[in-house]
Structure 1
């Protein structure tokens, strides 16, 4: 199947998901709308990964597969020889009734995606042990501070120097505080315009070094979308371990 045909198949699954919702949802009011990354943000995530020419992506959290479909579409557009998408979700079968994985299969993305049904605290070390090197990661799993912190700890070792880590729900204090440690102590740099319209998060993040983004490259302006919750961070070009004597407080007392 040609790249344009594969992308058309993915786009149709994404379109139906955005317009009609998934075939199954948990018995909670507006659960899909609450849990899923908005379609516009998924488009921006796709464009960012295409701009970065990502070939291997690790994703924490699958649920209804909105972001996973966008990541898969990006990998198809980049058209690398051996694209890989590692998706971690220990609850995909037990809580989500495989609805997200079924959508990836319907889009034909099971040919490049691998589903790991283990907690990220176990799955990420496994990927590290196997020597997986990723160009980018998308984090939307547990929102507990300690679990986000551990996800970022391992992803820093898996994502190549200069690669990207994208965090969903950065507006949650627990998530934002975990990220702040890596910004202030390990040289992660926020990409301010990766998700146009995310003005609230930009203010919360504080000053960052500016760099060209996929959104800028595609001509999308910062006023074109409502405020959202996603933030992208670039890892330093060289990995390093700071001295314990150079510790910088990272707690955001403003919440």
Structure 2
């Protein structure tokens, strides 16, 4: 292969479909740099394109103790560790750590350890209930006013999970963070629209817990 890892899964166009495109990685990197991040949590490593962008942002910001926590229970079994090996070859394992547990286990562990992150990038399971749980715990880990960036917002399951937090918990889309439309290698959505990749959201400051009577359907 001229680009990408030497080993990929035995699926047609797997690398091109799974990997976050270069343009979106550059935008993610620049967004994190502008936020001056020191600690970032990433759900899903795969081929590590977004992880490299996050690592570059942390190195560029150059805070005293940069930390990149990556959660991927399938990195070895599904991805043959190519993402982690790539990070190591770039020297980013000096600031990164890999948690090979499901995010539903790893995120509560980080919360119980008292971790506070400046931002998170979510690109793990795309099942609605698992995305919802990821966002639930990240809301408690990412600092007030921090960022959560979600990949594959084109997927109804992902978009619907995100919408709950927008409608009920005050998360707001950061305008211009990912300008324009980026189609995935998989092509267009069910109505022919380009499939939008990333959405950046800012958590409210201060955070709040709404009364259950104020629930807004999503």
CA deviation after TM superposition for structure 1 residue 192, in Å:
1.9
Under a length normalisation based on structure 2, what TM-score does the superposition of the two structures give?
Answer: 0.93
| Aligned mate of 2:43, from 47, 60, 70 | 60
Residues 53-102 of structure 1: CA deviation (Å, up to 9, x unaligned): 01100000000000000000000000011000000000001111100000
Q: Does the CA contact (< 8 Å) of 1:139 and 1:166 recur in 2?
A: yes
| Aligned mate of 2:99, from 112, 116, 127 | 116
Q: Does the CA contact (< 8 Å) of 1:198 and 1:230 recur in 2?
A: no
Structure 2 residue 189 is the aligned partner of structure 1 residue 247: no
CA deviation after TM superposition for structure 1 residue 199, in Å:
8.5
SS in 1 for 2:63: coil
Structure 2 residue 110 is the aligned partner of structure 1 residue 127: yes
Partner of 1:144: 127
Partner of 2:188: none
Determine the C-alpha separation between the residues in 1 that align with 2:76 and 2:195. Answer: 32
Which protein is richer in helix relative to its size?
1
Q: Does the CA contact (< 8 Å) of 1:166 and 1:232 recur in 2?
A: yes
Partner of 2:159: 176
Residues 218-244 of structure 1: CA deviation (Å, up to 9, x unaligned): xxxxxxxx8731000000011111100
Inter-CA distance 46–199: structure 2 relative to 1 (3 Å threshold): closer
Determine the C-alpha separation between the residues in 2 that align with 1:91 and 1:230. Answer: 22
Determine the C-alpha separation between the residues in 2 that align with 1:172 and 1:237. Answer: 28
Determine the C-alpha separation between the residues in 2 that align with 1:175 and 1:132. Answer: 25
SS in 2 for 1:20: coil
4+ residue runs of structure 1 moved beyond 6 angstroms? none
Give the root-mean-square deviation of aligned CA atoms: 1.5
Q: Does the CA contact (< 8 Å) of 1:197 and 1:227 recur in 2?
A: no
Inter-CA distance 193–101: structure 2 relative to 1 (3 Å threshold): same
CA deviation after TM superposition for structure 1 residue 198, in Å:
3.3
Determine the C-alpha separation between the residues in 1 that align with 2:33 and 2:141. Answer: 19
SS in 1 for 2:204: coil
**Equivalences for residues 38-117 of structure 1 within 5 A:** 38-117=21-100
Determine the C-alpha separation between the residues in 2 that align with 1:115 and 1:229. Answer: 24
Residues 99-133 of structure 1: CA deviation (Å, up to 9, x unaligned): 00000000000000010000000000000001110
Q: Does the CA contact (< 8 Å) of 1:188 and 1:234 recur in 2?
A: yes
CA deviation after TM superposition for structure 1 residue 22, in Å:
0.8
Structure 2 portions without partners, runs of 5+: 184-193
Under a length normalisation based on structure 1, what TM-score does the superposition of the two structures give?
Answer: 0.79
Residues 175-226 of structure 1: CA deviation (Å, up to 9, x unaligned): 00000000000000001210111389xxxxxxxxxxxxxxxxxxxxxxxxx8
Determine the C-alpha separation between the residues in 1 that align with 2:105 and 2:159. Answer: 23
| Aligned mate of 1:36, from 3, 9, 19 | 19
